[in-house]
Amino acid sequence: VAVTLRDVAAHAGVSSRTVSNVVNNYSHVSPTMRAKVQASLDELDYRPNLLARSLRAGRSGIITLLVPDLTIPYFGDLAHEVVERASELGYTVMVDETGGRPERERALLDTAARSSWVDGVLLSSLGLSAKDLAGLGRGMSVVLLGERTARSALDHVGIDNVAAARSATTHLLEGGRTRVAALGGSATRKDATTHLRLKGFRAALAAAGRPAGQHGPTPDYHRASAAPAVRILLEQDEPPDALLCFSDELAAGALRTLHELGLRVPDDVAVVGFDDADGSRFLTPSLTSVRQDRAEIARAALDLLLERIGGAEARARDVSVPWELVVRESSAACV
Amino acid sequence: VAVTLRDVAAHAGVSSRTVSNVVNNYSHVSPTMRAKVQASLDELDYRPNLLARSLRAGRSGIITLLVPDLTIPYFGDLAHEVVERASELGYTVMVDETGGRPERERALLDTAARSSWVDGVLLSSLGLSAKDLAGLGRGMSVVLLGERTARSALDHVGIDNVAAARSATTHLLEGGRTRVAALGGSATRKDATTHLRLKGFRAALAAAGRPAGQHGPTPDYHRASAAPAVRILLEQDEPPDALLCFSDELAAGALRTLHELGLRVPDDVAVVGFDDADGSRFLTPSLTSVRQDRAEIARAALDLLLERIGGAEARARDVSVPWELVVRESSAACV
DNA sequence: CTGTTAGCGCCTTCAC
DNA sequence: GTGAAGGCGCTAACAG
């Protein structure tokens, strides 16, 4: 049932070349001819086959966004920004989820590279090492989002996690907290995000002359993963009076768990999150969080990606995006 | 730089047909031949061009999911289920956002229909009338998610909004609440979701012999939109002692606003939400909500869509998916 | 079992 | 200013 360029040409009594010229608004077509062709176009309800066009052009106008999990509000927010910005730039976004699992990140990146469906990939990676990524990036335009994987060969956009964690920790110390603990991620596995944030956390404690803080690891950054770690931290002899959570999700889970334990926030325990997801200021108490400028991340990432797609061969670049500690009720100073 | 089937054929000294047979695991290829071709395949690192394959096959293996806004957790959750299920079925998902605006829903659906990029569309529509949709669905496989647009010509998957709203309202009345108000959406515009839920809400009140409840409309279903409406409802002479919110987002915003007004939940005001987003049980107090079975929605919707893609010409079907009122702290009975 | 051939629908170099 | 022809990379008839 599909109407092709040829059908229109036959209908209008011209060559397909001329129809193509009209469709693509090329010059060198006489007005009368243009009108005649346009009439046939309308009458037959012609729709260009973008598949064929892309095959011919060698590009699809599609980029893939790979995130761990869309049920995490931060990634929903990020996807929103990417879709919006890409749309402005004339690109469409395919979204896939990696679950944060390295093998799935690898497989999806590989599929993208092989398929030639997509012009480029935005990867919000959690688990891949720089070596993995280098091999996969071959022949495909890729920009990394989120963490700063050490010396990867790929472009990267993210915040300065060390500085942000340091600032948040200092904020808690200056609010009179004496036993700050970190919550989330894994110090042992190749979890670059947590590694860097722990670094900033410890630097702040050291700078203030405090003993090293504790770290409650979690298998992922979901709300549901906070509870066990929080309970372990609080069952100690000297339980923490402040929690630096490495995602807003974990922070929300921590708020809930503290409530169940009968502890008051911020009176007994202060809580700070990371990401400043849209919902965090609506929690009770409202959550202090490190805000990443997501719109700027999307903008910078797409700019880099489009340059790569355009054939830029520059060395890998590392764009640092602004962040800001947004102070709300959950970290009010103690008296 | 791309390696084509022909290149491999030349390298292996066979025809491209044979290479294609090997790549697609067809029979009728002798083992020795297969081995030889496979060697060339590996050596040249051949990657099939999916664009060309799709052009040839007449289908792309891509479906489009259109949702209002990925920053709303419910739609993030929904997208998650759709992506996961589609992946199981061998499909990839393109996600686009409509902002809930009818003209954008129309434009995106139109683009999808024209482009031949996509085999089918899942549309979580808010604003399009049945008439709009009928015209657009022409020639494209479309399944509607969410609300039950009156007598549309398209397949549809959703919950029974009337029954769910009725059940939630009855729950509040049975908990001893006497002045239940509804919150969210628009009774005036073509907001089918709100229309149906209001119907259930009013039916429950009528069945209990209560006067008609009030409705606080909101421009959208975001958290931030709850505050003004909640304040207006509570400034009245006889303020409500229970709020039936037409999304969890609105409920979360209401919880926050009530907290700011110094009202206790559930002691002074009970709150019920809709959707049971992943985060809602972590709110303080945890939120009572109407749970939609999202995995089942995704499954049913994709089944319907794939049947349409496969050429089924059946009349429009309407699949009703299970829902459940999940009772938590925010709607505890008053004493 | 394997090779040849003809398109899928589009765009574009080349002639006219 | 317009027409004819070829090919993007792949697969499916049709031989042999």
Read off the pLDDT of each residue in A194-198 and give the average, rounded to a whole number.
Answer: 93
- Write out chain A residues lying below 8 Å of B94, CB-based: 62, 92-95
Residues of B in contact with A115 (CB under 8 A): 47, 50
Written in H, E and C, the secondary structure of B257-324 is HHHHCCCCCCCCCEEEEEECCHHHHHCCCCCEEEEECHHHHHHHHHHHHHHHHCCCCCCCCEEECCEE
Residue type, B95: V
Cα nearest neighbour of B258 on chain A: A284
Comparing alpha-carbon positions, the chain A residue that sits nearest to B227 is A282
* For range A133-154, the mean pLDDT: 74
Q: Does A223 lie at the interface with B, CB-CB under 8 angstroms?
A: yes
Tell me which residue has tokens 């009176």: A267
What distance in Å separates the CA atoms of residue A195 and residue A207, rounded to the nearest whole number? Answer: 18
Mean pLDDT value across residues A44-70 = 90
The one-letter amino acid code at A335 reads V
Residue scoring higher pLDDT (A130 or A152): A152
Contact A106, A77 (CB under 8 A): no
Please give residues of chain B from 55 to 114 whose alpha-adjacent beta carbon (CB) lies under 7 Å from any atom of strand C: 55-56, 58
Tokens, residue B327:
């009772």
Q: Quick one: pLDDT at residue A130?
A: 62
β partners of residue A63: A93, A120
Main-chain dihedrals φ then ψ at residue B275, nearest 5 degrees: 115, -30
**B273 and A CB contact within 8 Å:** no
Q: Is A47 on the interface with B (CB under 8 A)?
A: yes
Helices (H), chain A: 5-12, 16-23, 31-44, 50-57, 73-88, 102-115, 130-137, 161-174, 192-207, 226-234, 248-260, 294-309
Tokens of A61: 């106008």
At B91 the three-state DSSP class reads coil
User: What is the structure's pLDDT at A154?
Assistant: 86
pLDDT tens string for chain B (335 positions)?
678 998 899 899 998 888 998 988 887 788 888 888 999 999 988 888 888 988 888 888 999 999 999 999 999 999 999 999 999 998 999 999 998 888 888 888 887 877 777 899 999 976 666 666 666 666 789 999 987 665 677 899 999 999 999 999 999 999 999 999 999 998 876 778 899 999 999 999 999 999 999 999 999 889 999 999 999 999 999 999 999 999 999 999 999 999 999 999 999 999 999 999 988 999 989 999 999 999 999 999 999 999 998 888 778 899 999 999 999 999 999 87
* Of residues A47, A115, A259, nearest to B114 (C-beta): A47
Total-model pTM: 0.91
- Given pLDDT bands bounded at 50, 70 and 90, which one contains residue A104? confident
pLDDT confidence tier of residue A183, bands split at 50, 70 and 90: very high
Contact residues for B194 (Cβ-Cβ < 8 A; gap 6+): B184, B185, B186, B187, B217, B246
**Cβ of B72 under 8 Å from any chain A Cβ?**
yes
Q: Are B93 and B82 in contact (CB under 8 A)?
A: yes
| Closest CA-bearing residue to C1' of C3 | B15
Which pLDDT score, from 0 to 100, does residue A291 have? Answer: 96
Q: Residue A290 in contact with residue A272, Cβ under 8 Å?
A: yes
Query: Integer distance in angstroms from CA A97 to C1' C10?
Result: 33
B47·A115 Cβ contact <8 A:
yes
Tell me what pLDDT residue B151 has.
62
- Give the sign of the dihedral formed by CA A94, CA A96, CA A100, CA A102: negative
- Neighboring chain A residues of B1 at a CB cutoff of 8 Å: 139
In this complex, the residue of B72, B77, B282 whose CB is nearest that of residue A223 is B282
In the predicted structure, residue A319 carries a pLDDT above the cut 90? yes
* More confident call, B233 vs A312: B233
In angstroms, how far is C1 C1' from B33 CA?
Answer: 10
What residues in A contact B62, CB-CB < 8 Å?
Answer: 94, 117
DSSP, res A249? H
What average pLDDT does the segment A74-79 reach? Answer: 94
Task: Please determine, for residue A77, whether its predicted confidence score (pLDDT) is greater than 70.
Answer: yes
**A94 vs B contacts (CB less than 8 Å):** 62, 92-95
Q: Quote the pLDDT of residue B196.
A: 92
Q: Which helix (H) or strand (E) holds A318?
A: strand A318-320
Of A55, A139, A255, the CB nearest to B52: A55
Q: Alpha carbon A37 to chain centroid distance?
A: 45
d(CA A15, C1' D3) / Å: 6
A150 SS3 class: coil
Instruction: Say which DSSP state B184 is in.
Output: S
How much is the pLDDT for A276? 95
Q: Can you tell me which residue has its alpha carbon closest to the C1' of nucleotide C12?
A: A17
Chain B CB within 8 Å of residue A275 CB: no
Is the pLDDT higher at A288 or at A125?
A288
Predicted local confidence at residue A148, as pLDDT: 61
Return the percentage of chain A with pLDDT > 70, whole number: 93
Query: What does each C-alpha distance from B55 to A233, B22, B48, B87 come to in angstroms?
Result: 57, 20, 13, 21
Q: Does B255 touch chain A (CB under 8 A)?
A: yes
Q: Which residue of B has its CA nearest to A58?
A: B51
Within an 8 Å CB–CB cutoff, is residue B88 touching chain A?
A: no
Q: What is the pLDDT of residues A238-263, one digit of tens each?
A: 999 999 999 999 999 999 999 999 99
pLDDT of residue A193: 87
Nearest residue for C7, CA–C1': B56
Residue with CA nearest C1' of nucleotide C13:
A17
Q: Smallest Cβ distance to B55: which of A55, A252, A279? A: A55
Cβ of B47 within 8 Å of Cβ of A77? The answer is no
Give the mean model confidence (pLDDT) for residues A304-330: 92
Whole-number pLDDT of residue A143: 93
Peptide bond into B102 cis (omega under 30): no
Q: How many angstroms separate the CA atoms of A172 and B196, rounded?
A: 48
- Cα-Cα-Cα-Cα torsion B193, B197, B199, B204, nearest 10 degrees, comes to 170
Instruction: Chain A: give the shortest CA distance to residue B28, in Å.
Output: 26
Q: Do B47 and A114 touch (CB under 8 A)?
A: yes
Tell me if A33 sits within 8 A of A14, measured CB to CB: yes
The gap between A10 CA and D15 C1' (Å) is 33
Omega within 30 of 0 (cis) for the link into B240: no
Strands A180-183 vs A242-245: parallel, antiparallel or unpaired: parallel
User: How many Å apart are CA A303 and CA A155, to the nearest integer?
Assistant: 11
Confidence of residue A24 (pLDDT cuts 50, 70, 90): confident
Could you tell me if B77 lies within 8 Å of chain A, comparing CB atoms?
yes
**Residue to substitute from A4, A62, A69, A71, interface B, most B β-carbons within 10 A:** A71
